[in-house]
Amino acid sequence: MVLDVRGLTMDFGGLRAVDQVDLQVNEGEIVALIGPNGAGKTTFFNCVTGMYVPTAGTVTIARPGTDARQITRMRPHLITAQGLARTFQNIRLFPEMTVLENVMIGRDCRLSAGILGAIMRNKKTVAEEKQVVLDSYAMLEIVGIGRWANETAKNLPYGAQRRLEIARALATEPFLLLLDEPAAGMNPQETRDLVALIRRLRTDHQLSIFLIEHDMSLVMTLSERIYVMDYGKLIAVGDPGEVRRDPSVIKAYLGEDVSA
Amino acid sequence: MSSQATTQPQPGRYLAYAWRSLLVSIWFAILTFPIIVIRANTITGTITWRWHNIGWIVGGTFVGSWIWRYFLERKRAGAEATMGPLRQRLAAARAVVTQAARRPAVARGGIAALLLLVVAFPFVGGMYQTNIMTTALLYVVLGLGLNIIIGLGGMLHIGYIAFYALGAYSYALLNLHFGLNFWLALPVGALVGGLFSLAIGIPVLRLRGDYLAIVTLAFAEITRLVLENWSSLTFGTAGIRNIPRPAIAGIRLTLPQTTTFVYFIMILMVVLTIFVVNRLENSRIGRQFVAMKEDFIACQAMGVNIARTKLAALGLGGMWAGLAGVVFAARTTFINPASFTVWESIIVLCTVVLGGMGSIPGVITGALVLILVPEYLRAFAQFRMLLFGAVLVTMMVFRPGGLIQKRRRAYTISAQEKQVAAEIGDPGIQG
Amino acid sequence: MNYFLGLFVSGLTRGSIYALLALGYTMVYGIIELINFAHGEIYMIGAFTALILASVLSIAGLDAISILVIASLVAMIYSAAYGFTMEKIAYKPVRNSQRLSALISAIGMSLFLQNYVRLAQTSNFLPFPTLIPRLGFLQQLTFQVTSAQFVIFVTTTVVMILLTLLIKFSRVGKSMRAASQDKTMAMLLGVNVNRVIALTFVIGSATAALGGVLISSFTGQINFYIGFMAGIKAFVAAVLGGIGSIPGAVLGSFVLGWTESFGAGYISSDYEDVFAFAILVLILIFKPSGLLGRPENKKV
């Protein structure tokens, strides 16, 4: 088990956005979290990655082959260093930086150069910088946007921006990749390519993948297990077939009146 | 309107422009009437009517509104779509210059010429010119230092001059009480500036940008008020006199010689600043700064320690102000709190904004233009601050990146390295 | 005890003064999340307009009450027009840029307006005519309250009540609240967001001008620089109370007024301004949402 969330709860003032959610991701698994708008999916994500401090509950992670450790209430950059990387629902690149530099920021938590090294430019720093460029370029090739390395990030086509976010997340050397609506705004062809990419990432890079998605066809074809949330609570768990047939899921998605 | 903007301008549009501009100028005539036309002196109880001023306002705003509208529309249409013949020629000229500058012989020649100019300046220009240039150079260092905080780190700091003040006072006081000489005071000043900048940074780490602005302003004002009122230590508003000028042990320099000497100290300091800032910029640290400025949430999520990055930017920025402060005290030989008001901070901010946030040549240009132009155009001097205000607004509206905009560095990756990387990736999904 | 009461009343007056300015700050911030650094300058321009008008009218031979009313009204109209124009020139074009741009633009506007008045008028202090008439019944109180103090306090209270009513119950107020929550959504629902923002500037500026007139007749002198410090103090008050909240701005202003006046009275008047800034720093560190503000969640 690479991710184990127990009883996670998040309150905003009087509003309970996430209510007692238990969720697990096993090694090498692709798991999806779905639910209607405002169900609390992104809030859940933000609690796991440390952007929000959850009101209650625990988040435990374990890099395959190592001991489990609790990351609840850890600061986001430390969680990333532990091996959890994420993308954002509404793309959050560094728009004025180049594509390559965006990925280089992803490498940051694996680097050691300090201020003095930067000014002195000693051997170690120079070597490290050279390695960063190469590693980052390799990430770009993995997601297939290497030819745009020196382009300004904001000038990339939309689909490539989504890929860049994935490359940047990969650069942090994660064992668990969290994707927040990776197919949002993509056309069917781009979505198919994305599915292929995600599968390839899992097999080639021994990643486990946990994603939030609205595109049902993508979720159904890609994920092995699906969690369904509504009004902050888990209402169903299972493989795609089970979830598809679950009456509470149908009700949550189509409202009270199924015939409508 | 916007669909028209991309096509060639038609006469009808100019007429519409003229009409709108006329309305704007009438609006401004009415708006500025009481302040511009009537001058009430309640001490003598007299009122002066200055009707001729209305003419200036109407004419000025008519032309101004026209230009404003033109540029605003061009900005909306996007720069490339409306690249006029003049701009094309300018771009072509720029291309020729950058091409030429790439050739090593030309580059070497350019550097040699610049070096000659810099070295010859005090001997050709005389003491007066040298003094003005030294002031401008002080602002270059201040601008480059503040640029680390604002241009790279994206934190609006409007209390920067406080560290300048602290640098100046550390030298003045340590010299007065312990006889510390100028050269030893330099690192001390830098340390004091950097540490105070950090000290202010720690409590405000969690604050958003606009709160940071107001808190830094508050800290700067507190610093100035303490300097003014803690008379037993700082001699209050009277200030500190007879601060020794920079000297070389055993050699007595005349006043003109010292002026030249300080000029060269400043030149060295500028070179050092450029060197350090440039190295920082093109390093992991500089990348962290820029990423934090662009999107601090994504930056944090990618594993960058935001708190440390912010403190690094603040500390590194504050150091330069402290360093410059020591030179300032040694050069003027007299300091008092009045030299370190909020408006000094705003002038430094202006140099960064005009030149180009994040760009070293930009900030240098900005500082030289903003300090030298008012010095040489004495008739302009009284309008200086008015123009600074206008510069800040117009730059933000039309060219927030500044005159010389920062270009991100391109990395070269050899074909062989590309090959290795491409083998890791899957070419099947490209395209 | 009389010393204490005196300080209390002077703190109350100060608080009322800050409140008239803080209201504008809080309204503008509530709607476009911008620290309008030039707000203090609008207040200064209001005071200058009133001074100029009062001088002209007194030569024309009007009585004090008419002068006070006319000068205040015209000053409010003019300041509102300045606020409106300022928004169009310096803020609207940068509304979609980075926050940093808007802030720098605001600082530029503040610098520009200060020097505009300095050049067109004077850089010296000018005595401001006593426009507020003496109120007889105040003499019978056991402690010292001047007419100006009384009028300032009453005006602030009335303005605060009017603004609260306006925002709570009027159509315009509803549009303002909608626009401050989500501009895109408000626009989709038919709210003219540009007009709402312009109106916010107009109301905030008029309030500031009223403050300018009253305060200047209380302090008895003005110059081009009075707006800056007053603006910063008012901002401190707005943050202290919880920025974006109208009652918060007033509460914050009173707390700040008393802190300054008691601090100056019992500790040292040299450090009067330091108290305000110290409060600001403390509140931002320990309770950034202010006394009455709601905590906000960063959007990810």
Pairwise CB contact (< 8 Å): A46 & C297:
no
Pairwise CB contact (< 8 Å): C297 & A88:
no
- The per-residue DSSP string of B217-260 comes to HHHHHHHHHHHHH-HHHH-GGG-B--PPPP--TT----HHHHHH
Which of B42, B45, B396 is opposite residue C108, by nearest beta carbon? B396
Q: How far apart are CA C107 and CA C39, in angstroms?
A: 10
Give the minimum alpha-carbon distance from C121 to chain B in angstroms, rounded to a whole number.
6
Please choose, from the candidates B418, B341, B347, the residue with its C-alpha nearest in 3D space to the C-alpha of residue B389.
B347
Pairwise CB contact (< 8 Å): C300 & A88:
yes
User: Could you say which DSSP state residue B7 is in?
Assistant: S
Q: How far apart are CA B369 and CA B378, in angstroms?
A: 14
- Residues in B closer than 8 angstroms to C51, CB to CB, are 40, 42
- Residues in A closer than 8 angstroms to C298, CB to CB, are 51
Q: Does C214 fall in a domain?
A: yes
Q: Identify the helix (H) or strand (E) that includes residue A231.
A: none
Over residues A90-110, the mean pLDDT reads: 93
Helix C171-181 × helix C193-219 angle, to 10°: 110
B428, closest residue in chain A (CA to CA):
A144
Phi, psi torsion values for A216, nearest 5 degrees: -60, -40
The confidence score (pLDDT) of residue C295 equals 58
Q: How many domains does chain B have?
A: 2
Q: Does C298 fall in a domain?
A: no
Q: For chains A and B, count residue pairs whose Cβ atoms are closer than 8 Å.
A: 150
B28, closest residue in chain C (CA to CA):
C85
Pairwise CB contact (< 8 Å): B36 & C120:
yes
The confidence score (pLDDT) of residue A207 equals 92
Q: Are residues B275 and B356 in the same domain?
A: yes
Q: Does B304 fall in a domain?
A: yes
Q: Does C142 fall in a domain?
A: yes
Please choose, from the candidates A150, A168, A177, the residue with its C-alpha nearest in 3D space to the C-alpha of residue A106.
A168
A143, closest residue in chain B (CA to CA):
B425
Pairwise CB contact (< 8 Å): A137 & B306:
no
For C16, residues 6+ apart whose C-beta sits below 8 A from its C-beta are: C152, C153, C155, C156, C157, C253, C254, C257
The confidence score (pLDDT) of residue C174 equals 86
Percentage of residues in chain A having pLDDT higher than 70: 97
Q: For chains B and C, count residue pairs whose Cβ atoms are closer than 8 Å.
A: 174
Quick check: B335 and A112 in contact, CB under 8 A? no
The confidence score (pLDDT) of residue B84 equals 61
Quick check: C34 and C101 in contact, CB under 8 A? no
What are residue A69's DSSP bridge partners? Answer: A61
Give the minimum alpha-carbon distance from B261 to chain C in angstroms, rounded to a whole number.
35
Pairwise CB contact (< 8 Å): C90 & B397:
yes
CATH topology for the A1-83+174-260 domain: Rossmann fold (3.40.50)
Can you say how many angstroms the Cα of residue A130 is from the centroid of all Cα atoms in its chain?
27
User: Could you say which DSSP state residue B335 is in?
Assistant: B
Q: Are residues B80 and B147 in the same domain?
A: no
- Residues in A closer than 8 angstroms to C295, CB to CB, are 13
Mean pLDDT of the residues in chain C:
86
Q: Spell out the domain ranges in chain A.
A: 1-83+174-260, 93-172
Q: Does B96 fall in a domain?
A: no
Q: How far apart are CA A137 and CA B423, in angstroms?
A: 12
Token pair of A189, please? 């062809």
Phi, psi torsion values for C20, nearest 5 degrees: -60, -35
C50, closest residue in chain B (CA to CA):
B34
Q: Are residues B54 and B173 in the same domain?
A: no
Quick check: C122 and B42 in contact, CB under 8 A? no
The confidence score (pLDDT) of residue B430 equals 39
Q: Identify the helix (H) or strand (E) that includes residue C29.
A: helix C2-32
- Which amino acid, one-letter code, is at A222? L
**Lowest-pLDDT range, A90-104, B82-96, C81-95?**
B82-96
Q: Does C293 fall in a domain?
A: no
- Residues in C closer than 8 angstroms to B297, CB to CB, are 298, 300
Pick the residue with more confidence: A79 or B97? A79
Q: Does C294 fall in a domain?
A: no
Q: Which residues of chain B are modeled with pLDDT < 70?
A: 1-11, 78-87, 423-431
pLDDT confidence bin for C185, thresholds 50/70/90: confident
Domain hosting C94: range is 2-286
Pairwise CB contact (< 8 Å): B346 & C107:
yes
* A94: contact with C, CB 8 A cutoff: no
- Residues in B closer than 8 angstroms to A96, CB to CB, are 290, 294, 408
Using one digit for the tens of pLDDT, what is the confidence trace for B310-330? 999 999 999 999 999 999 999
**Lowest-pLDDT range, B144-148, B261-265, C106-110, C133-137?**
C133-137
Please choose, from the candidates A152, A151, A144, A139, the residue with its C-alpha nearest in 3D space to the C-alpha of residue A104.
A139
Using one digit for the tens of pLDDT, what is the confidence trace for C206-250? 999 998 998 888 888 899 988 988 888 888 898 888 887 888 889
The confidence score (pLDDT) of residue C294 equals 64
Q: Is the pLDDT of residue A257 over 50?
A: no
- Which amino acid, one-letter code, is at B137? L
Q: Does C141 fall in a domain?
A: yes
Pairwise CB contact (< 8 Å): B386 & C119:
yes
Please, which contacts does B131-135 make with residues 24 or more away whose CB atoms are closer than 8 Å? B131/B259, B132/B371, B132/B372, B132/B375, B133/B263, B133/B372, B134/B259, B134/B262, B134/B263, B134/B266, B134/B331, B135/B371, B135/B375
Over residues C110-135, the mean pLDDT reads: 88
**Lowest-pLDDT range, A65-79, B271-285, B303-317, C128-142?**
C128-142
Pairwise CB contact (< 8 Å): C294 & A13:
yes
C297, closest residue in chain A (CA to CA):
A12
Using one digit for the tens of pLDDT, what is the confidence trace for A138-163? 999 999 999 999 999 999 999 999 99
Q: Does C202 fall in a domain?
A: yes
Q: Are residues B43 and B147 in the same domain?
A: no
Whole-number Cα distances in Å, A99 to A103, A118, A160, A167, B70: 7, 22, 10, 10, 34
* C65: contact with B, CB 8 A cutoff: no
Pairwise CB contact (< 8 Å): B426 & A200:
yes
Which of B280, B300, B424 is opposite residue A141, by nearest beta carbon? B424
- Residues in A closer than 8 angstroms to B357, CB to CB, are none
Buried b (16+ CB within 10 A) or exposed e, B165-176: bbbbbbbbbbbe
Dihedral Cα A98, C103, B191, B335, nearest 10 deg: 140
Helix B306-332 × helix B104-147 angle, to 10°: 100
Q: Are residues B67 and B206 in the same domain?
A: no
Domain hosting B165: range is 129-398
Using one digit for the tens of pLDDT, what is the confidence trace for B231-267? 888 888 889 999 999 888 777 788 888 999 999 999 9
Q: How far apart are CA C223 and CA C229, in angstroms?
A: 12
Here the ipTM equals: 0.91
Neighbour-count burial of A95, counting CB atoms closer than 10 A to its CB (0-12 exposed, 13-18 middle, 19+ buried): middle
Token pair of B262, please? 């300080």
The confidence score (pLDDT) of residue C142 equals 61
Which of B295, B312, B420 is opposite residue A115, by nearest beta carbon? B312
Mean pLDDT of the residues in chain A:
90
- Residues in A closer than 8 angstroms to C297, CB to CB, are 12, 52
Pairwise CB contact (< 8 Å): B31 & C278:
no
Percentage of residues in chain C having pLDDT higher than 90: 29
The confidence score (pLDDT) of residue B424 equals 64
Over residues C108-117, the mean pLDDT reads: 94
Pairwise CB contact (< 8 Å): A42 & C294:
no
Q: Does B246 fall in a domain?
A: yes
Give the minimum alpha-carbon distance from A246 to chain C in angstroms, rounded to a whole number.
31
Q: Which chains sit next to B, with 3 or more Cβ pairs under 8 A?
A: A, C
Pick the residue with more confidence: A254 or C171? C171
Using one digit for the tens of pLDDT, what is the confidence trace for C26-42? 888 888 888 888 999 99
Q: Does B310 fall in a domain?
A: yes
Q: Does C74 fall in a domain?
A: yes
Over residues A175-197, the mean pLDDT reads: 91
- Residues in B closer than 8 angstroms to C198, CB to CB, are none
* A51: contact with C, CB 8 A cutoff: yes
Using one digit for the tens of pLDDT, what is the confidence trace for C244-266? 788 888 999 999 999 988 888 88
Pairwise CB contact (< 8 Å): A51 & C294:
no
Pairwise CB contact (< 8 Å): B393 & C89:
yes
Q: How many domains does chain C have?
A: 1
- Residues in C closer than 8 angstroms to B150, CB to CB, are 100
Secondary structure percentages of chain A, helix, strand, coil, to 5:
45, 25, 35
Say which CATH number the domain at B236 has.
1.10.3470
